[in-house]
Amino acid sequence: MTTSLPEGTTGVLVLADGTVMAGIGVGAEGEALGEVVFNTAMTGYQEILTDPSYMSQILVFTFPHVGNVGVNVEDLEQIGGGAETSACGAVFRDLPTDPANWRAQGSLDAWMKRRQVVGLAGIDTRALTARIRDAGAPHGVIAHSATGQFDIPALISRAREWAGLEGLDLARAASTLQPFEWNEGLWQWPEGHVQSGEPQAEIVVVDYGVKRNILRALASTGAKITVVPATTDAESVLARNPDGIVLSNGPGDPAATGQYAVPEIRKLVDSGKPVMGICLGHQMLALALGGRTVKMAQGHHGANHPVKDLTTGKVEIVSMNHGFTVDRDSLPEAVQETHVSLFDGTNCGIRLKDRPVFSVQHHPEASPGPTDSLYLFDRFMDAVRAHRSA
């Protein structure tokens, strides 16, 4: 059955409970299925939409004005692919504005069309955000058609039948297929992204859906970087004789990806080499050390999250994007909690007491910001240099 919606409707968001929100379609025509989450960042919509950690998710932007800085090739966060390995849909309060920025190379709407990202504008995003905050992240379908005709019962059924992110390994699809090297550093005025200088240490990054700015931040500390696929075994990583290993961010359920990744992470930890985990890498490191992870109701998504570093007492404003969390009560005695969220008290960092191994839930590369946690890359490289000296 095709349902005719109010005049001017070219897009809908349909939730598994039967809720239908009508608006104006943006970006690609078609349908996208996923978990609906809100993001509270005021800047960085292109970086957010290209973060592989948002794979199989529909993003609701709480900031009402989106599109004014356009898009460009430098601000892409994923290494390759499009909406199939990043956010599949986006919901805005207002229609994206025309670009008015010296770095813009195109409009957000046209870029979303090319990437096959389905968008919807004209929605009360405050009400939708409050709903997600109170009831948890729902399953939904976002649809865009110039005809304004949608089979609402079919869309509801599709949303209800989706199993969700629990038990879903998405890192394998988000990861690179072949190893590659990286030497581009962080963005600097006026040069832009500069090439790193003489390498001080060789680092292997296990790619579960890595963001470019993680690689840039590492390169800017003096790392010579080799990125390897998510399914790479520990023996192959260690055969490269790295000075340190980074477990990257990525999408999906850490317990599902951990079926093949956790045994290899245990071997990497047992090697004695410095290890740093970020986001999904943090969660899977916790699993490898004997902890467990649990699904959050709405997760943490934004660039204004306060986190306390328990080792220094410093409170940082950080970027976050995760729907699973490490259960601190499951952590063994050998693991120390190092960071906590000041929003809800959830775990945001751990370290081994007797080895140079640590991880954080938040994003220290934080593209486009804030940069309060960039020091963690220096902390990791200090551990690398100390291990080399020893």
DSSP 201-253: EEEEEEESS--HHHHHHHHHTTEEEEEEETT--HHHHHHT--SEEEE---SB-
Domains along the chain with CATH numbers = 3-161 (3.50.30.20), 171-389 (3.40.50.880)
Answer whether 21's CB lies under 8 Å from 125's CB: no
Asked if the model's pLDDT at residue 1 lies above 70, the reply is: no
| Spatial separation of the C-alpha atoms in residues 89 and 112, rounded to whole Å | 9
Asked if the model's pLDDT at residue 358 lies above 80, the reply is: yes
Helix axes 280-288, 254-270, angle to 10 degrees: 60
- The conformation of residue 75, written as its DSSP 8-state character, comes to G
Q: How confident is the model at residue 192 (pLDDT cuts 50, 70, 90)?
A: confident
Which parts of 116-220 fold into alpha helices (H)?
125-135, 152-161, 171-174, 212-220
Q: Is 329 helix (H, G, I), strand (E, B) or coil?
A: helix
| Spatial separation of the C-alpha atoms in residues 165 and 170, rounded to whole Å | 9
Confidence at residue 4, expressed as pLDDT on a 0 to 100 scale: 66
Instruction: Please give the model's pTM, rounded to 2 decimal places.
Output: 0.96
Chain segment 76-127, per-residue pLDDT in tens: 999 988 899 999 999 999 999 999 999 999 999 999 999 999 999 999 999 9
Residue where the block lists tokens 């120390």:
336
Asked if the model's pLDDT at residue 369 lies above 90, the reply is: no
**Active site amino acids:** 279, 363, 365
CA distances from 372 to 175, 356, 365, 375 (A): 27, 22, 9, 7
Chain segment 251-295, per-residue pLDDT in tens: 999 999 999 999 999 999 999 999 999 999 999 999 999 999 999
